[in-house]
Structure 1
Amino acid sequence: MKLYSISIKNLLRHKLRTFLLLFVLVLAIFTFVVLITISRVVNENFAKQLDEYGANILVTPKSNSLSITYGGMMISSVEYEKNELREDDILKIRTIKNRENISVVSPKLIGIVKVNVGSNSLMKSAIICGVNFESEFKLKKWWKILGRKPSGKDEVVIGSEVARSFNLKIGDVVNIEAQVFKVSGILEETGSQDDLMIFADLRSVQDLLKKHGTITLAEVAALCYNCPVEEIVRQISDVLPNAKVTAIKQLVESRMEVMHRFGKFSFGISGIILLISALIIFTNILASVNERTKEIGILRTIGYKQNHIMRVILTEILVISFVSGLLGYLLGWGVSMIVSPILSGTTNVKVSFDWILFILSIFISLGIGIIAGIYPATKASKIDPIVALRAL
């Protein structure tokens, strides 16, 4: 009788033990696959949401003197009269190699204007920021507005501090550089420089400041979960040689740190479960060898050598390990397809068949089986047939 036939018959004869070993190893591989797959899918989805939640790249003129802070970065003085970026130049950002990774480009023109309210002839200075409202609201999804978004060029959104300083309410009329604007919305307090600004249409601000076609800076939201943001910065710098392109490193690093923590957690839990499974398999195989002392003694008596006995035991383990790896991955993949959309909070999640993870699962299962079974198999091969037969 061939050795592998003996192994298969032993597995079929000891159904309960075979089922227990299969169950333990399938559960371990299943857990490993589910954790890794869900971690990857949720991380990617979370990273996309983070990347879409604000700018991570700032584009400013190269030669400007810096004097005020915007979004955690220093920008040029609002009183300068030259060296602004051209609005047309910003369009080049959409031509870079990784343009698919560019989510939002929001150009801005910032300046100091004279403001008075109603019949009050007292003029006060304020900071105005010309923006493309569609891009700005897409960039700053955390903005909460009392009122509504501007629907025309003569409407503005004001920060909470501006509203308090000028005693403005929704619907009030404000004179900016002798031009009339209506307050359509007031930003809820953000704790940032946005509280101190008046936000108006970019074209209107360019007309007010007589700086047609120019901007102070551009904020860029780049999807960097699968592309290094430094590479996007380099590509933008290449197409805008007269601009200073800077990654907001603190934000990028915090995003990547969140992703790394998710990955470490998943691998850590998976490692612990696989280790526990290996110990359970080891103890079960060792107990099985002790129970089969008589059987092994008979095989040795009829001519089977030590390496034959070892091969029989290891073949049983490898068969169980291979089947466990196969079933564990398929079950894990199926459950991941169900659970991932729930954990991601969106139905737009695709969990594709991962051949690398599939092969890795089988190899891990085989590795656990071999590591857990090598000592029991060696012990079985060294059983003295005479001692074993005496126990009959």
Structure 2
Amino acid sequence: MTDFVKRTWCEINLDHIQYNIDLIQKTAQKEVIAVVKADAYGHGDKYVCRELARAGVKWFAVSGISEALVLRKEGFRQNILILGYTPPDCAEALSDNNITQAVYDLDYAVALDQALRETGKTVNIHVKVDTGMHRIGFEQSEAHSAAREIVKVAALPSFRTTGIFTHFCHSDSFDLSAICYTKEQMHRLDTVIRELKAYGVSFEMVHAQNSAGIICYPDDEYNYVRAGIILYGLAPSDELEHMIAVKPAMSWKSIVTMVKTVQPGSAISYGRTYTAEKEMRLATVAIGYADGYSRLFSSKADVLIHGKRCRITGRVCMDQMMVDITDVPEVQIGDEVTLFGTDGEETISADELARIAGTINYEIVCNVGRRVPRIYLKDGKPVGVEDYLLG
């Protein structure tokens, strides 16, 4: 069950997933909607959802119907909320698989309702309100009220309107303007809920707090929260890195495939962007940007070998890269390389790589490629493998 091709792989600590959801539930003191879109942020939704189900999670959130149907195919009977768009011609699949759909626009709602009427089936929906992110949602602002449009949606015969939600766009900062903006978003959601109540429309579920909101705004009056990045042990932003004691679930490994000595003046990798100034020992490592390890790490990021930092030398290639092992003479072919994670007393975090690449930790873990097997650990021992290529 735990056999895999030992080229490059990720290790997912399921004990940390369990620890994180327990901590989130205690922190939020509300029902948790676990956001498992993008294959559980690259961690593998099948194994992650099993752990979350064991912890009593009753709701999963995904980005689209394909992700929802994968969970149903795996046998998960929990409620599933699609946060984004589902084509109207897939409306029957929503009903047949008991999937809740976000509805965020009147024209979209009418099209979805019409498709359902042709089948005679109904779907649960959560209404998405745009309180200031301006991505999707019924606009609620000083100049525009979402309530009248949402009333029309709630009246459509194919829908059971069970929830309402919004999304904070700047709740991951303690900057005063960010705090004021987030509180304004809450005020706008409260306003539309109050207006809808006057029209006789109410909701079983109200949710706004994302991972950052759970940390920074624990006292809102909504009855559900949506936990995303903190489920996987990563902070929503650098500012919040030490605000909740979650544990990273993913580490990323590879192996040394060749060891060589190069002379002064030797140009390393594509474009000759790195030239050896002295005699160096290099290790070739079996990973590249096709695995999701960004070319932006070229000559900037470190890896860990035998618990010591070794700098990438020259450009990251599609499937391989070179690192400087001059100060780690014991390195040999087959040695394990840690791209992020802990080896001995040293740790390289996804956040460290994100800062080098000018991005966020979300992108680092989500970008791990599908040719990289995920190895699942409990109590430090392998309990399963997800190999997307070999099955």
Q: Between the two structures, name the one with larger relative contact order (CA 8 Å, sep ≥ 6).
A: 1
Q: Larger C-alpha radius of gyration, 1 or 2?
A: 1
> Is the pair's TM-score, using the shorter chain for normalization, greater than 0.5?
no
More helix by share: 1
